[in-house]
Structure 1
Protein backbone atom coordinates (compact mmCIF):
# COMPACT_ATOMS: atom_id res chain seq x y z
CA UNK A 1 0.00 0.00 0.00
CA UNK A 2 1.17 3.49 -0.76
CA UNK A 3 1.90 5.70 2.22
CA UNK A 4 0.52 9.22 2.35
CA UNK A 5 3.13 11.93 2.41
CA UNK A 6 2.81 14.81 4.83
CA UNK A 7 3.95 18.26 3.82
CA UNK A 8 4.70 21.19 6.08
CA UNK A 9 3.56 24.47 4.49
CA UNK A 10 4.80 27.57 6.33
CA UNK A 11 2.23 30.23 7.21
CA UNK A 12 4.48 33.19 6.70
CA UNK A 13 7.17 33.14 4.05
CA UNK A 14 8.75 36.57 4.08
CA UNK A 15 12.25 37.93 4.05
CA UNK A 16 13.18 40.52 6.59
CA UNK A 17 14.18 40.88 10.19
CA UNK A 18 11.31 40.20 12.60
CA UNK A 19 11.06 41.88 15.99
CA UNK A 20 7.80 40.84 17.67
CA UNK A 21 6.52 37.73 15.94
CA UNK A 22 5.47 38.90 12.48
CA UNK A 23 6.35 42.60 12.85
CA UNK A 24 9.18 43.56 10.51
CA UNK A 25 11.75 46.27 11.25
CA UNK A 26 11.02 48.09 7.98
CA UNK A 27 7.28 48.22 8.79
CA UNK A 28 7.95 49.53 12.27
CA UNK A 29 10.31 52.26 11.05
CA UNK A 30 7.91 53.38 8.32
CA UNK A 31 5.02 53.65 10.78
CA UNK A 32 6.83 55.13 13.78
CA UNK A 33 9.30 57.59 12.20
CA UNK A 34 6.80 60.40 11.48
CA UNK A 35 5.10 59.92 14.84
CA UNK A 36 8.41 59.98 16.70
CA UNK A 37 9.52 63.19 15.00
CA UNK A 38 6.18 64.85 15.70
CA UNK A 39 6.33 63.67 19.31
CA UNK A 40 9.75 65.28 19.79
CA UNK A 41 8.37 68.54 18.40
CA UNK A 42 5.39 68.39 20.76
CA UNK A 43 7.66 67.63 23.73
CA UNK A 44 9.62 70.85 23.21
CA UNK A 45 6.56 73.07 22.70
CA UNK A 46 6.41 75.87 25.28
CA UNK A 47 3.31 76.99 27.20
CA UNK A 48 1.49 73.66 27.01
CA UNK A 49 0.70 71.53 30.04
CA UNK A 50 2.86 68.45 30.53
CA UNK A 51 -0.27 66.26 30.78
CA UNK A 52 -1.51 67.46 27.39
CA UNK A 53 1.92 66.79 25.90
CA UNK A 54 2.05 63.31 27.44
CA UNK A 55 -1.43 62.47 26.15
CA UNK A 56 -0.62 63.58 22.62
CA UNK A 57 2.68 61.70 22.61
CA UNK A 58 1.04 58.50 23.87
CA UNK A 59 -1.62 58.75 21.15
CA UNK A 60 0.93 59.52 18.43
CA UNK A 61 3.06 56.52 19.35
CA UNK A 62 0.29 54.14 20.45
CA UNK A 63 -1.94 54.28 17.37
CA UNK A 64 0.79 53.39 14.82
CA UNK A 65 2.12 50.68 17.14
CA UNK A 66 -1.35 49.14 17.32
CA UNK A 67 -1.80 49.35 13.55
CA UNK A 68 1.55 47.67 12.92
CA UNK A 69 1.07 44.94 15.53
CA UNK A 70 -2.56 44.00 14.79
CA UNK A 71 -3.17 41.57 11.94
CA UNK A 72 -6.91 41.40 11.23
CA UNK A 73 -7.03 39.27 8.08
CA UNK A 74 -3.98 37.03 8.02
CA UNK A 75 -0.74 36.77 9.93
CA UNK A 76 1.35 38.20 7.11
CA UNK A 77 -0.89 41.14 6.06
CA UNK A 78 -0.48 44.26 8.21
CA UNK A 79 -3.33 46.62 9.04
CA UNK A 80 -1.74 49.54 7.21
CA UNK A 81 -1.77 47.57 3.95
CA UNK A 82 -5.34 46.46 4.57
CA UNK A 83 -6.53 50.04 5.21
CA UNK A 84 -4.65 51.33 2.15
CA UNK A 85 -6.14 48.62 -0.07
CA UNK A 86 -9.63 49.37 1.28
CA UNK A 87 -9.25 53.08 0.54
CA UNK A 88 -8.01 52.44 -2.98
CA UNK A 89 -10.93 50.08 -3.58
CA UNK A 90 -13.44 52.62 -2.23
CA UNK A 91 -12.03 55.43 -4.37
CA UNK A 92 -12.11 53.36 -7.55
CA UNK A 93 -15.74 52.34 -7.17
CA UNK A 94 -18.20 54.10 -9.44
CA UNK A 95 -21.53 55.17 -8.09
CA UNK A 96 -24.57 55.34 -10.26
CA UNK A 97 -27.72 57.19 -9.35
CA UNK A 98 -31.10 56.51 -10.81
CA UNK A 99 -34.66 57.63 -10.32
CA UNK A 100 -37.38 55.14 -9.76
CA UNK A 101 -40.01 55.22 -12.40
CA UNK A 102 -43.48 55.63 -11.07
CA UNK A 103 -46.05 53.17 -12.23
CA UNK A 104 -49.64 54.33 -12.00
CA UNK A 105 -52.47 51.86 -12.04
CA UNK A 106 -54.77 53.76 -14.32
CA UNK A 107 -57.33 51.50 -15.94
CA UNK A 108 -58.39 54.26 -18.30
CA UNK A 109 -55.24 53.94 -20.40
CA UNK A 110 -55.83 50.37 -21.57
Structure 2
Protein backbone atom coordinates (compact mmCIF):
# COMPACT_ATOMS: atom_id res chain seq x y z
CA UNK A 1 0.00 0.00 0.00
CA UNK A 2 2.89 2.37 0.72
CA UNK A 3 4.15 1.85 -2.84
CA UNK A 4 0.76 2.84 -4.31
CA UNK A 5 0.58 5.92 -2.07
CA UNK A 6 4.13 6.95 -3.05
CA UNK A 7 3.45 6.34 -6.74
CA UNK A 8 0.20 8.38 -6.62
CA UNK A 9 2.00 11.25 -4.91
CA UNK A 10 4.71 11.09 -7.57
CA UNK A 11 2.05 11.31 -10.33
CA UNK A 12 0.40 14.37 -8.72
CA UNK A 13 3.82 15.95 -8.23
CA UNK A 14 4.72 15.36 -11.89
CA UNK A 15 1.44 16.85 -13.11
CA UNK A 16 1.97 19.96 -10.99
CA UNK A 17 5.50 20.36 -12.37
CA UNK A 18 4.44 19.85 -15.98
CA UNK A 19 1.51 22.27 -15.71
CA UNK A 20 3.79 24.78 -13.98
CA UNK A 21 6.13 24.68 -16.97
CA UNK A 22 3.49 24.32 -19.67
CA UNK A 23 1.44 27.40 -18.81
CA UNK A 24 4.36 29.84 -19.05
CA UNK A 25 5.38 28.17 -22.30
CA UNK A 26 1.99 29.17 -23.72
CA UNK A 27 2.91 32.78 -23.04
CA UNK A 28 6.47 32.47 -24.34
CA UNK A 29 5.92 30.40 -27.46
CA UNK A 30 2.31 31.02 -28.45
CA UNK A 31 1.85 34.64 -27.48
CA UNK A 32 -0.85 33.93 -24.91
CA UNK A 33 -1.66 36.37 -22.14
CA UNK A 34 0.90 36.96 -19.40
CA UNK A 35 -1.89 36.01 -16.99
CA UNK A 36 -0.97 32.38 -17.73
CA UNK A 37 2.11 32.99 -15.59
CA UNK A 38 0.03 33.24 -12.40
CA UNK A 39 -1.49 29.73 -12.46
CA UNK A 40 1.86 28.48 -13.73
CA UNK A 41 3.61 29.91 -10.67
CA UNK A 42 0.89 28.49 -8.41
CA UNK A 43 1.35 25.07 -9.99
CA UNK A 44 5.11 25.20 -9.43
CA UNK A 45 4.49 26.16 -5.80
CA UNK A 46 2.14 23.17 -5.54
CA UNK A 47 4.85 21.00 -7.09
CA UNK A 48 7.38 22.09 -4.44
CA UNK A 49 4.87 21.49 -1.66
CA UNK A 50 3.94 18.03 -2.99
CA UNK A 51 7.59 17.10 -3.27
CA UNK A 52 8.04 18.05 0.39
CA UNK A 53 5.29 15.58 1.39
CA UNK A 54 7.44 12.59 0.60
CA UNK A 55 8.52 11.05 3.89
CA UNK A 56 12.20 10.98 2.97
CA UNK A 57 12.77 14.09 0.87
CA UNK A 58 16.25 13.33 -0.39
CA UNK A 59 18.20 12.71 -3.55
CA UNK A 60 16.92 9.13 -3.54
CA UNK A 61 13.30 10.29 -3.55
CA UNK A 62 14.01 12.80 -6.30
CA UNK A 63 15.71 10.11 -8.38
CA UNK A 64 12.71 7.80 -8.01
CA UNK A 65 10.36 10.67 -8.85
CA UNK A 66 12.24 11.17 -12.12
CA UNK A 67 11.03 7.81 -13.41
CA UNK A 68 7.40 8.71 -12.84
CA UNK A 69 7.95 12.17 -14.33
CA UNK A 70 9.15 10.59 -17.58
CA UNK A 71 6.02 8.44 -17.89
CA UNK A 72 3.65 11.31 -17.01
CA UNK A 73 5.43 13.60 -19.50
CA UNK A 74 4.83 11.04 -22.26
CA UNK A 75 1.15 10.83 -21.33
CA UNK A 76 1.04 14.65 -21.44
CA UNK A 77 2.69 14.57 -24.88
CA UNK A 78 -0.07 12.26 -26.07
CA UNK A 79 -3.08 13.74 -24.29
CA UNK A 80 -2.32 17.48 -24.43
CA UNK A 81 0.11 17.94 -27.29
CA UNK A 82 -1.62 15.32 -29.42
CA UNK A 83 1.61 13.52 -30.35
CA UNK A 84 1.54 9.76 -29.99
CA UNK A 85 4.64 8.43 -28.24
CA UNK A 86 6.79 5.98 -30.18
CA UNK A 87 7.39 2.42 -29.01
CA UNK A 88 10.90 3.47 -27.95
CA UNK A 89 9.34 6.19 -25.76
CA UNK A 90 7.21 3.58 -23.98
CA UNK A 91 10.21 1.29 -23.58
CA UNK A 92 12.20 4.11 -22.03
CA UNK A 93 9.31 4.99 -19.70
CA UNK A 94 8.99 1.35 -18.68
CA UNK A 95 12.68 1.17 -17.86
CA UNK A 96 12.45 4.42 -15.89
CA UNK A 97 9.45 3.11 -13.94
CA UNK A 98 11.25 -0.15 -13.23
CA UNK A 99 14.16 1.89 -11.90
CA UNK A 100 11.78 3.93 -9.77
CA UNK A 101 10.30 0.75 -8.31
CA UNK A 102 13.75 -0.60 -7.47
CA UNK A 103 14.69 2.64 -5.70
CA UNK A 104 11.40 2.86 -3.76
CA UNK A 105 11.34 -0.82 -2.78
CA UNK A 106 14.99 -0.58 -1.72
CA UNK A 107 14.03 2.02 0.90
CA UNK A 108 12.49 -0.80 2.91
CA UNK A 109 15.97 -2.20 3.45
CA UNK A 110 17.03 0.81 5.44
CA UNK A 111 20.15 2.52 4.08
* Fold agreement, TM-score > 0.5: no
Task: Name which one, 1 or 2, has greater alpha-carbon Rg.
Answer: 1
Return the TM-score normalized by structure 1. 0.32
Q: Whose RCO is larger (CA < 8 A, sep 6+)?
A: 2
